[in-house]
Amino acid sequence: MLGQGGFRGVYKGYLRESDSYIAVKRISRESKQGIKEYASEVRIISRLRHKHLVQLIGWCHQKRELLLVYEFMPNGSLDHHLFKVKSHLTWPIRFKIAQGLASALFYLHEEWEQCVVHKDIKSSNIMLDSNFNAKLGDFGLARLVDHDKGSQTTVLAGTMGYMAPECVTTGKASKETDVYSFGVVAEAVDPRLSSEFNEEEVEHLLIVGLWCAHPDNKCRPSIRQAIQVVNFEAPLPTLLPNMPVPTYCSYGSTTSFASPYDSNGPHIYEIHSSGMGDYTSSSNNTTASAASSPSTSLLYT
C-alpha cells in the first residue's frame, strides 16, 4: 500500500502489457463523498493531458469496486520529502517543482477548453516522477467553469492552511483561490539550503509566493503573471512593506472558520500564507518567518 485516507487506499500495481507500474486508488463505496470525488476525477482528469498532471490511465466501477488507475510516481508526493523523511531537495529541484506546478495551473486555468478550478492544491497532491518533475494530482474536488465566469459557490472543501480567506468565509472557489494555494506552496525558502541556491531565483519565487497568497483576492496575480515573474520575463511586483493578514474568530462548533489546531472554546488566531506565523515583504527586501503546520509549505521545512 502506498497510502491511505479517510475513504480510500492507494496501492502499487503492475501492468504486464505495458511493463509498467501503476498506482491504484480504491474508493470506499460506503462514503458518499468518496463516490462524488470518484465521479469528479473520471469526469475531469480523464479529459486532461499535460506533462505536469498525473495521468489517469483507467477506471473501474464493477462488482461494487470503485478503482482509479494512475501512472506510478516513483518519488512519491512532495510532502513526504518535506516532512516525513530526511530528504534534501536541492534548490534547482525545488525551483523546478514550483515551475512545474505553475505550468500545470496555467494549463488548467487558461489553456484547456474550460477553466478547471482544482480547489485542493497542497504538497501532498504534488507528485514527483523519477526525475523529480512535479505532477499535480487528486482532482476529486475540482470543478469546471466557463472561462468568462467568475467564482463558484460550493460546499466548503479543501485543506486548512492552503485555503484562501474568501473560500473559507464564503465557500466560493475560483482561479484566485487556486493561485492563493500556489502561493502557499511556493512562498517560503528552506533555511537548510545555506548558500546552495541562486539568490535571484529565491527572491523571485519568494515574492511571487507572497503576491499570490495575498489575503485580498483582487491583489493577487493571475497564474500567467506569476509565471512571467518566476521566469524573469516580467519585473518583480511592488508589495506592501507589511502585508495585511486576515484574522478569524473561532467559537467551537459555531464558527466561520474551523481551526484544525484548537477546537476548545473561543480561539482567535491569524492565518498567514504559509500557515500560522509572520512575514513581511517588499520588492527589495523580503523575509518570511512562519510557524507552519506540517502540511502547508512546499519550500520551507
Instruction: Provide the annotated active-site residues.
Output: 120
Using CA atoms, how far apart are residues 200 and 209, in angstroms rounded to an integer?
14
- Which strand ranges, in their side-by-side order, compose the sheet holding 20-27? 3-4, 8-15, 20-27, 66-71, 56-60
Cell 472554546 appears where? 265
Cell 506552496 appears where? 185
Using CA atoms, how far apart are residues 184 and 162, in angstroms rounded to an integer?
6
Q: C-alpha distances in angstroms, 220 versus 30, 201, 210, 213, 239?
A: 40, 20, 9, 7, 11
Classify burial at 62, counting beta carbons within 10 Å of its beta carbon; exposed 0-12, middle 13-18, buried 19 or more: exposed
3-state secondary structure of 270: strand
3-state secondary structure of 83: helix
Task: Please report which residue ranges of 198-253 form alpha helices under DSSP H.
Answer: 199-212, 223-230
Which cell numbers hold the place of 53?
A: 498532471
CA-based angle 34:140:273, to the nearest 5? 120
Using CA atoms, how far apart are residues 243 and 252, in angstroms rounded to an integer?
28
Q: C-alpha distances in angstroms, 34 versus 1, 127, 162, 215, 220?
A: 18, 21, 21, 31, 32
Q: C-alpha distances in angstroms, 171 versus 91, 109, 168?
A: 36, 19, 6
